[in-house]
């Protein structure tokens, strides 16, 4: 596969991941199932900004591939690790997550998880969950992006 086709494929993936993320965020916010508090609104804005960042990374790959590859690398690094430990939790996925992780509640249980454009952030409220995972899709994309950046030099 040529380098240009690879870059376009990553660009389209990031744009679609961001668009799906924003669409799901709007559905959740206006679906009537979530009480919109200041905290929910703040975290929703953070999620929206991350999804917009994903879209911008994809667009940048079309306009300036070198800069786009660097920004895309940052976008994927943000998606590699997801966790919930005590009062802290973070998960950001713009696209697809195929995750492998360890659930530490009641023992060490290895889990395999799938997700499509999702976001979760928690600070200060213990959810009773303890897990750490790695998004294999984001990890694969990081290696792919680094290889494309090396070819760019």
Domain extents in the chain: 3-151
Q: Which residue has the tokens 């800069």?
A: 67
N-terminal to C-terminal alpha carbon distance within the chain: 19
Check pLDDT > 90 for residue 105.
no
Other CB atoms closer than 10 Å to residue 69's CB: what's the count? Answer: 23
Give percent of the chain with pLDDT exceeding 90: 71
For the entire predicted model, the pTM comes to 0.91
Name the band, by pLDDT with cuts 50, 70 and 90, for residue 34: confident
Contact residues for 33 (Cβ-Cβ < 8 A; gap 6+):
none
Closest CA to 138 of 10, 12, 5: 10
For the stretch 73-102, pLDDT in tens is 999 999 999 999 988 899 999 999 999 999
Q: d(Cα 91, Cα 23) in Å, to the nearest integer?
A: 17
Token pair belonging to 59 = 């667009």
Name the band, by pLDDT with cuts 50, 70 and 90, for residue 112: very high
Give the mean pLDDT of 60-66. Answer: 96
Helix-helix angle 38-63:3-30, to 10 degrees: 160
């Amino acid at each position: 596969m040529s380098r240009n086709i690879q870059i376009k494929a990553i660009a389209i993936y990031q744009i679609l991941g961001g668009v799906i993320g924003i669409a799901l965020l709007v559905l959740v916010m206006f679906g009537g199932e979530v009480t919109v508090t200041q905290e929910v609104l703040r975290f929703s804005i953070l999620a929206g900004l991350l999804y917009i960042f994903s879209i911008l990374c994809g667009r940048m790959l079309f306009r300036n591939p070198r800069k786009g590859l660097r920004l895309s690398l940052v976008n994927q690094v943000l998606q590699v690790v997801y966790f919930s430990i005590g009062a802290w939790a973070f998960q950001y996925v713009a696209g697809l997550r195929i995750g492998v992780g360890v659930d530490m509640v009641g023992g060490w249980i290895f889990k395999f998880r799938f997700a499509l454009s999702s976001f979760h952030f928690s600070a200060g409220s213990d959810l009773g969950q303890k897990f750490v995972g790695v998004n294999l899709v984001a990890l694969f994309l990081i290696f792919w992006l680094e290889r494309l950046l090396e070819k760019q030099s």
